[in-house]
Amino acid sequence: MTTWLPTDVFSICAEYPAPILSCSPAAYMYLSLVIRLFGGVNYSVNYPTRNPYSSVQYTHSSSINKNPLSSSLSEYYPGPYVNQAYSQLNYNSYPYDTHFDRSFNYNPFQTFDSIGGESKVEIKKEKTKGRDGGKSRRKRNSKEYDFIIVGAGSAGCVLANRLSEVKKWRVLLLEAGPEEPDVTMVPSLATILRQSSIDWRYETQPEPLTCRSYRGGSCPWTRGKTMGGSSAINYLVYMRGNKYDYDNWANLGNPGWSYSELLPYFRKSENNRDVESYDNYLHGVGGPITVERFPYLDINTAKLVAAFQEKGLPLIDLTSENNLGTNIGLSTSRDGRRMSINVAYIKPIRDVRPNIDIIVNAFATTLIIDPQTKMVLGVTYIKDGVTYNVFAKKEVIVSAGTINSPKLLMLSGIGPKEHLYSLNIPVISDLAVGQNLQDHTTTDGLIIALSNKTSTLVSNEKVLNELQNYHQQQPKKDGPLATTNTLNAIAFIKTKYAAVNAPDIQFHFDGRNVEDFYADPQTYLETSIWPLAFYNGLSARPLLLTPKSRGVILLNQTDPIFGPPLIYPRFFTVKEDLDALIEGLRFAVSLEETETFKSIGAHFVRVPIKNCENHIWGSYNYFACLLIEYTSTIYHPVGTCKMGPAWDKDAVVDSRLRVYGVKRLRVIDASIMPEIVRGNTNIPTVTIAERASDMIKEEYLTKQFTV
Ligand SMILES: Cc1cc2nc3c(=O)[nH]c(=O)nc-3n(C[C@H](O)[C@H](O)[C@H](O)COP(=O)(O)OP(=O)(O)OC[C@H]3O[C@@H](n4cnc5c(N)ncnc54)[C@H](O)[C@@H]3O)c2cc1C
């Protein structure tokens, strides 16, 4: 049975016709096959232990091989473009009291008042229509749980497993999305999961300094909506961050979160099957998450790492304490199949432990809080159009991720009071919920073209054959679809902007079809559905690891419950972020000087991209333009329910992840990070949940459980 559907590329192509492969009949055949082979839910973990449609050619502009110093110097320093963009920035442009439609009359306490009785909450009918044809019904779930966890993502899956280890505890895991479909299993198909039926499909709000060349000035903000959450749709990179990150968390006033205190938890979750497994100080063997190097390595992945080595970067274990260097990354996969946190932590215990219930397609709308005692009693959720209240004897744990955790808290009266007043939500606890948003920013606009020597582009027929091959291989998968390819050629460098002896830039490279990209960058990026395996170019993506800019999440003013929250990333509002990333872009371009790049004929496409044509390719202003016009992230948002001591006015949770000002409520997920880590965020989130599970056990079981 098909449960999963990709993004509707045909509507996009109908509206914005483009001479690219995604808008061709071949795309229809490809999508049909992916749905037929991988659209169901069958994946089990029980092992025995040249585009004909493109007419656009890219050419080298006259600026090729231009010595930067010989061109107009002003092009290499902030000029009119940057100044003009910054002049549009109004630092007061997100005022709570002017931004919202005060006429909306939602009161979450009606939920509390109406427990067991008739609902007074008017829920948007069109969104709650279920098998009952839209009649909203309310039920009190007879079961009472010790712990209710909202969200089965990276953190929620770990918590559900670890807490249900205690046989006497009854645990409920609520997940808004469906079961994890088979398509998530195929590493090379990570591209096709974005904007699909298991993505929340959020978008950023238009801003002066971000995403200006995307339609509507909005960037997609991908978040997983399925068992496994974002770990089911991510790019499988296994990374931990730098020792400094965690020592910094502890120094900010969060006892228990230093690197040495977290290292046992990094080891605990890991089942390392690669050479790193010999290092039993850093790595673990026998944990739930299988970690390996993909069984297939393509030539460009190896060449990229070689080029970084030529630039002087040491070959290192990228998960080591000080991660300055390069290597082919480790991945959260097993035998060429994705190991989401659902696969790692939930599938093995599902239907085995009697004390855990898992409800999918269950959308939590509010926390049930006694306004007098400020005690959290349970959760209200909607499934198939029916509203349920469930109750927790010990705690409710919100693990809905960096966007939806603050949303649920704010809907429940926990958040900045001005914002809540503006929506007529009574305030339970006035906290900086939704603030402190951080992410690893980059651009989609810097393109490397590969020569025929290493291009991996194949015919459409071959792509379909590879899908069939992968599907048939049992149980081990091999071949180009069993890897994310060049995404695993990873490097960490330190620019002059790095404040400490740790990296501030990380590199990733995504496969691209160069002609299609240049034919219509917007439509190409919106319809990115092809396997990562087949490409004739690369997008070179330096990521800013230490952003100073901070964004904010607000509730949707017209439909706070079902409407998407308002995401203001506010990237580059601190200009040093732009400058550090430009250093990263310059470093990327310098790879072209290496013998490795020369030997394979790889070179940067020095054609100014649409909307940046007025700048000299490679100049400061050109790079600034790329970052501001073609902003992108690799979807690592954190920080919106910040962990911090009581004196920190921005803190939402304390160092045991308990929400300030309310009882029996924790937030445990990526949103609690006070500052983003220097690396991909999945494993840090797992580690937060592992650590927090033990804290909870310590509190209720008097230190009976330790690692
Ligand atoms: C496209 C993409 C690529 C990425 N690549 C990598 C990578 O290669 N390596 C890496 O380390 N990190 C990567 N990340 C980031 C990493 O996956 C996340 O940081 C991590 O999964 C966050 O975990 P979380 O538990 O905080 O949230 P999530 O995993 O997002 O989980 C939140 C869960 O809560 C559910 N939920 C939300 N609201 C409700 C509600 N109201 N009721 C019920 N359920 C709800 C959601 O459906 C979801 O399942 C990537 C992320 C994305 C999106």
What digits encode the pLDDT tens for the residues 201-246? Answer: 999 999 999 999 999 999 999 999 999 999 999 999 999 999 999 9
**144 and 74, same structural domain?**
no
pLDDT value, residue 469: 97
Region 538-546: mean pLDDT is 98
**Domain assignment present for 106:** no
Whether 39 shows a pLDDT value over 70: the answer reads yes
How high is the pLDDT of residue 45?
55
**H or E element: which one contains 273?**
none
Q: Is residue 252 in a domain?
A: no
- CATH of residue 141's domain is 3.50.50.60
DSSP-assigned beta bridge partners for residue 538: 448, 511
Q: How far is the CA of 142 from the centre of ligand 1 (A)?
A: 30
What confidence score (pLDDT) does residue 575 get?
A: 97
Q: What is the mean pLDDT of residues 626-633?
A: 97
Of 584, 607, 633, the last residue of a domain is: 633
Tell which wins on pLDDT, 457 or 114: 457
Mean predicted lDDT score pLDDT of the chain: 89
What is the predicted pLDDT for the residue at 142?
Answer: 52
Cα–Cα distance for residue pair 181/285, rounded to 1 Å: 27
190 domain-assigned: no
> What ipTM describes this predicted complex?
1.00
Among 577, 606, 633, give the residue marking a domain's end: 633
Residue 673 falls inside a structural domain:
yes
**In terms of pLDDT, which residue wins out, 68 or 451?**
451
Q: Give ligand 1 pocket residues (Cβ under 6 A).
A: 150-156, 174-177, 194, 222-225, 229-231, 233-237, 239, 363-364, 399-402, 404, 408, 634-636, 669-670, 680-683, 685
Which residue has a Cα nearest atom 49 of ligand 1? 229
Quick check: is 636 catalytic? yes
The pairing of beta strand 505-512 with beta strand 489-493 = antiparallel
Residue 121 and residue 175 in one domain:
yes
Closest ligand 1 atom to residue 190 Cα is 1
- Cα distance between residue 55 and residue 58, in whole Å: 10
Helix (H) or strand (E) holding 224: none
DSSP 31-74: HHHHHHHHSSS----------TT--------TTTT--GGGS-GG
pLDDT at 234: 98
Tell whether 264 is covered by a domain: no
- What is the span of the domain harbouring residue 144? 112-181+340-438+637-701
User: pLDDT at residue 163 above 80?
Assistant: yes
Distance CA 530, CA 27 (A): 9
429-430 and 414-415 as β-strands: parallel, antiparallel, unpaired?
parallel
pLDDT of 81: 64
User: In the predicted model, what is the mean pLDDT of residues 82-88?
Assistant: 70
The mean pLDDT value for 644-671 works out to: 98
Span of 183-187, 375-379, 548-552, 703-707 with lowest mean pLDDT: 703-707
Q: Known binder of ligand: residue 236?
A: yes
Contacts of 372 (CB under 8 A, 6+ apart): none
421 in Cβ contact with 569 (< 8 Å): no
- What span, in angstroms and rounded, lies between the C-alpha atoms of 627 and 549? 14
Atom 12 (ligand 1) nearest CA: 682
ω into 521 cis (within 30 of 0): no
Question: What is the 3-class SS of 494-559, one letter each residue?
Answer: CCCCCCCCCCCEEEEEEEECHHHHHHCHHHHHHCCCCCCCCCCEEEEEEEECCCCCCEEEECCCCC
Task: Answer yes or no: do 399 and 467 share one domain.
Answer: no
Regarding whether 648 and 625 lie in a shared domain, the answer is: no
User: Residue 553: inside a domain, yes or no?
Assistant: no
Closest CA to ligand 1's atom 37: 400
Please say whether the beta carbons of 196 and 209 come within 8 A: no
Q: Is pLDDT above 50 for 637?
A: yes
Residues 162 and 133 placed together within one structural domain of the fold: yes
Q: Is residue 63 part of a domain?
A: yes
Question: Ligand 1: which atom is nearest the Cα of residue 637?
Answer: 19
Reported in sequence order, the residue ranges of 407-488 that DSSP labels E, i.e. its strands, are 414-415, 429-430, 441-443, 447-449
Tell me: do 360 and 498 sit in the same domain. no
Q: Is the pLDDT of residue 137 over 70?
A: no
Exposure class string for 135-158: b at 16+ Cβ within 10 A, else e? ebebeebeeebbbbbbbbbbbbbb
CA dist 390 and 412 (Å) reads 15
pLDDT tens-digit series, residues 91-100: 444 434 333 2
> For 313-348, what is each residue's pLDDT tens digit?
999 999 999 899 999 999 999 999 999 999 999 999
The predicted pLDDT at position 87 comes to: 72
Give the chain's largest Cα–Cα span. Answer: 78
Tens digits of per-residue pLDDT, 414-445?
999 999 999 999 999 999 999 999 999 999 99
Determine the Cα angle at 204 with ends 198 and 205, to 5°: 140
**pTM of the full structure:** 0.90
Average pLDDT value for residue range 144-149: 96
